[in-house]
Structure 1
Amino acid sequence: MTNQTQATPPPTTETSRDSIKWFLLIPVVLCIFGAVTFFLRAQDAKKLTAGTNALDTEPVTLTHAQQGAPDSEITLPSTLQGYSDSPVYARTSGYIAHWYADIGTHVHQGELLAQIESPEVDQELNQARAALSQTQANLVLAGITAKRYQELIPTNAVAQQEVDQNNQNLDAQKAGVQAAIANVNRLEQLQGFEKVVAPFDGVITQRRTDIGDLINAGNSGMGAELFRISKINIVRVFVPVPESYSDQISDGLKATLELIALPGQQFDGTVTRSSHSIALDSHTLLTEIDVPNPSGKLLPGAYAEVHIHLSAPVKHLVVPVGSILFQSAGPQIAVVNGTNQIELRKVALGRDFGNTIEVTNGITESDQIVASPPDYLVNGMHVTIQPASGSEKS
């Protein structure tokens, strides 16, 4: 029996080609899988970036300032003041012997208000007058002596030195008399201050002394205020006029006062002066208005509403009340700039109309204003602008 070995037939050409195709197909599949994976990851990264950016920005709705109705006058609160108001102090120390004017008393300039007893000043004055008389007597004697010595010079009975000494003594006595006269005048003035008089026409608004009170003229501390007097035949008010109206303010401009205590009555006044300077903290112009008060109805300290009649109508901007941020730095408005960033601007507020409020300084009509800003908005914060609802569109 013969062993026969069966040989494996050699691979055909078709089998070799199939193996090559599968070998080349695997890298292609891997490349396609990698590309798809990279694309999906890129899409996820974009979504993540978009979500992160959305969390970093604050969604806001916008509004704009509107032009209010033109004003021909402005109304501002104020408090009446006397045209002059001054405390009355004593110029000499002593005791109150009598007082002649109480609160509400109308007095004239120079009228006696109180009498002070100052015996020390009286005695010093008597002493000074006696010293003046003594010095004047010494001056007379020195003059006679100097004249006699001068007459003896031709006879050589006295030396020239003695003549010069007597002339010098005469000059010293003259100076002593002048000093004594000045001292007497000083004490006479102090004695005159024992009478406390009114510095101007007015009404006594306070009396802070009584009979027997010890009065200190300020020699060893703060002097005592005896009275306070106010001139009320003319009263004045000081009003802070908003900057937007400042160019309308001029001397002679007419104004009207209304008082809660006197309903239905109006009092005419005139702008007399202004500070000619805008205050940095409030952006207002300090303006003084004088009002004649011959009847005395207007009392210092009373609350008044001042109506200033403008020479030309002035338009103002109004914004929703909810757009104002009230913070420690003062009232602010959040404005969105061209790069969608927040700018917090300090503003000066005017009249409150309820749902809207007047803004006199700090913004323009074209500014994009955040309608309802949250308290945590800061300068430079990025925002995304949301469409406004029907009630918020301006």
Structure 2
Amino acid sequence: MKDTREGGIPAEEGKPAAHQTQTDPPIVLDSNGKIGRGPILVVAAVLLVIGVFIITGIRTRVHAEETLTKNTAQNAVMTVAITNPSQGANALEITLPANTQAYIDTPIYARTSGYIKRWYTDIGKHVHRGDVLAEIQTPELDQQVQQAQSDLATAKANLQIAQITAERWKKLLAKNAVSHQEADQATSDYSARQSALSSAEANLRRLEQLQGFEKVTAPFDGVITARNIDIGSLIQAGDNNSPKSELFHISSTDKLRLFVPVPEVYANSVHTGDRIVVTSDAAPNQKFIGSIVRNSNAIDISSRTLNVEVDVPNQDHRLLPGQYAFVHLPIPPSASSLTVPANVLLFRAEGLRVGVVHDGRVQLVPVQIGHDYGDKVEVISGLTPQDKVILNPSDSLAEGERVRIEKGDGE
């Protein structure tokens, strides 16, 4: 018999009912009418996948939190670059201004009074020792010489008569014709006449020497730097040495003297005989070699400097007296000192400090500074060559602070 459903439409065997779709999964029942193992496994697999995703998410989240905590702790530690002090300080050269003077600088004065008869040289001319610079006409001196010559002749005549008288009285005394008193007077008169003759001779020599000064000559080789006379000028001999009575001014420029005020802190670096470099703005790109010849061996109490003389050969006269020059004084390095970059210094209220890394922590070490070389400074005490000194330290750097050394710097 064929089974019919409500509606009069028979259902064919082996075909699904009209209300079922082909996509619906079949429900498998076992012999007892229960659901089979296949669906249960599917559900378990789905639950397992969901659990794995949940566990993986939790572990990822925990790992991220641990990484963040670790990175935060690491970032809280300051990273610093370090350097090691250099053994031995660099040689230092200081530049000091100097006053340039001629090796010999002398004003020429008249030793006799008169009028300028003629002059032979002018400013800028190089003269040699003994060259005649000018002639002075001295009529009064000439008359004095003639008078001295007459006085000398009179003294000689008086001496001659005194000598004859003294000898005559000696002979009479031998015959007891005169007294001893009269003979002694004649002898004494003879001695006085001898002294008068010597005085007259000395006076004549003095006037003749003054006549020799009628020709003004150069006392040494040099250059005339000033001429203050002209023909007919009245010249008064005197010892006041005022600029108005100066005839010429002569300077020896084959060698120059440079007087340098050396600061007290560098006084011990000055050694007599050391060669030294001299420069001048008037002669750019030129170096002159001089030598330290002497110093005052005393510190000027007003300027706290040591006066040092440097002599510079100047045969080619490239340097001029009075010219502004600079002396380059070398300061020898100290083998016992260290040098560090200037950017390692910390200026604190308690004094100058340097940050040193020791076992991962900061130590603020007090140091004593010597010479300043610009980008570097000399450290006299406080550091060793093995110290790890922090470069560009932060102003907030504190004692005992933990730091991390930047790789590749000082390692």
Give the structure-2-normalised TM-score.
0.59
Matched, 1:287 2:331: no
Q: Give the whole-Å Cα distance in 2 for the aligned partners of 1:174 and 1:288.
A: 54
Equivalent runs, 1:140-179 vs 2, <5 Å:
140-179=160-199
Q: CA deviation at 1:294?
A: 1.3
The answer to whether the 8 A contact 1:254-1:308 is kept is no
Answer whether contact 1:248 1:312 (CA < 8 A) is retained: no
Distance 2:309 2:240 in 1: 39
Q: Provide the identity percentage.
A: 47
233-242 vs 210-219, which moves further? 210-219
Query: Are 1:256 and 2:267 an aligned pair?
Result: no
Q: Residue 52 of structure 1 aligns with which residue?
A: none
Cα distance between partner residues in 1 of 2:130 and 2:123 = 17
Contact persistence 1:240–1:286 (CA under 8 A): yes
1:196 pairs with 196, 216, 221, which one? Answer: 216
**1:269 Cα shift?**
0.6
Following the alignment from structure 2 to structure 1, what is the Cα–Cα distance between the partners of residues 239 and 285?
52
For residue 83 of structure 1, give the secondary structure of its aligned residue in structure 2.
strand
Structure 1 counterpart of 2:292, from 271, 282, 285: 271
Shift of 1:183: 1.0
User: Within 5 Å, which residues of 2 pair with 1:341-356?
Assistant: none
Distance 2:338 2:131 in 1: 53
Map of 2:320 onto structure 1? 299
| 1:91-148 superposed Cα distances (whole Å, 9 cap, x missing partner) | 1111111111211111222221111111111110110111011111110111112112
Structure 2 Cα separation of the partners of residues 263 and 221 of structure 1: 38
Pairing partner for 2:332 from 311, 335, 355: 311
Which range is displaced more, 155-164 or 218-227? 218-227
Q: Partners of 2:299 and 2:237 in 1: how far apart?
A: 41
Residue deviations 1:206-235 (CA, integer Å, cap 9, x gap): 111111111111279957001111111111
Query: What is the match of residue 32 of structure 2?
Result: none
How far apart, in 1, do the equivalents of 2:200 and 2:221 lie? 37
Unmatched 5+ stretches in structure 1? 1-68, 320-334, 339-349, 359-363, 367-388
2:285 & 2:192 partners in 1: Cα distance? 76
1:237 aligns with one of 258, 277, 282: 258
Q: What's 2:127 paired with?
A: 107
Among 248, 251, 263, the residue aligned to 1:227: 248
Is 1:187–2:169 an aligned residue pair? no
The whole-number CA distance in structure 1 between the counterparts of 2:278 and 2:290 is 7
- Cα distance change on mapping 1:275 and 1:351 into 2, 3 Å: farther
**3-state SS in 2 of match to 1:174:** helix
One-letter identity of the residue aligned with 1:166: A
Within the candidate set 113, 121, 132, 1:93 is matched to: 113
Q: Which letter does structure 2 place at the counterpart of 1:86?
A: T
Q: Distance in 2 between matches of 1:112 and 1:311?
A: 50
- Counting only pairs closer than 5 Å after superposition, residues 313-352 of structure 1 correspond to structure 2 as none
Q: How far, CA to CA, are the matches of 1:205 and 1:228 in structure 2? A: 5
Distance 2:338 2:142 in 1: 69
Q: 1:281 to 1:315 in 2, by over 3 A?
A: farther
- What is aligned with 1:217? 237
Counterpart position of 1:117: 137
Relative to structure 1, is the Cα distance of residues 219 and 302 closer, same or farther in structure 2, using a 3 angstrom cutoff?
closer
Structure 1 residue 157: deviation in Å? 3.4
Q: Secondary structure at 1:80's aligned position in 2?
A: strand
Distance change (3 Å), C-alpha of 1:337 and 1:190: farther
Whether contact under 8 Å (2:299, 2:306) holds in the other structure is: yes
- Cα contact 1:71–1:315 (8 A) shared by 2: no
Contact 2:117 2:231 in 1 (8 A): yes
SS at match of 1:312: coil
3-state SS of paired residue (2:332): strand
Q: Tell me how far apart the structure 1 counterparts of residues 209 and 218 of structure 2 sit (CA, whole Å).
A: 17
Task: Tell me, in whole angstroms, the C-alpha distance in 2 between the residues paired with 1:274 and 1:97.
Answer: 45
* Contact 2:90–2:333 under 8 Å retained in 1: no
**Counterparts in 2 of 1:68-87, with a 5 A limit?**
70-87=90-107
Q: Any idea what SS the aligned residue of 1:250 has?
A: coil
Q: Map of 1:53-68 to 2, 5 A cutoff?
A: none
8 A contact 1:73–1:310 mirrored in 2: yes
> Which of 134, 155, 167 is 1:135 aligned to?
155
- Closer/same/farther in 2, CA of residues 217 and 351 from structure 1, 3 Å limit: farther
Bigger radius of gyration: 2
Instruction: Determine the C-alpha separation between the residues in 2 that align with 1:173 and 1:216.
Output: 35
The one-letter code matched in structure 1 to 2:174 is: P
Equivalent pairs, count: 275
Distance of 1:236 and 1:212 partners within structure 2: 37
The alignment partner of 2:333 has SS state of: strand
The CA deviation at 1:315 is 9.5
- Supply the distance in 1 between the matched residues of 2:137 and 2:239 (Cα, whole angstroms): 17
RMSD of equivalent CA atoms: 3.7
Question: 1:205 Cα deviation (Å)?
Answer: 0.8
Residues in 2 aligned to 1:209 and 1:187: alpha-carbon distance in whole angstroms:
24
**Does the C-alpha gap of structure 1 residues 308 and 160 become closer, same or farther in structure 2, counting only changes over 3 Å?**
same
Secondary structure (helix, strand or coil) at the match of 2:182 reads helix
Measured in 2, the distance between the counterparts of 1:232 and 1:302 equals 12
Q: Which amino acid aligns with 1:132?
A: L
- After superposition, the C-alpha distances for 1:314-358 in whole angstroms (9 at most, x for unaligned) are 999xx9xxxxxxxxxxxxxxx9899xxxxxxxxxxx9998xx9x9
Structure 1 pair 352/158, CA: closer, same or farther in 2 (3 Å)?
Answer: same
Give structure 2 stretches of 5+ with no counterpart: 1-88, 343-347, 352-370, 383-393, 397-411
Question: Using the alignment, how far apart are the partners of 2:298 and 2:137 within structure 1?
Answer: 49
Hey, what does 1:207 align to over in structure 2?
227
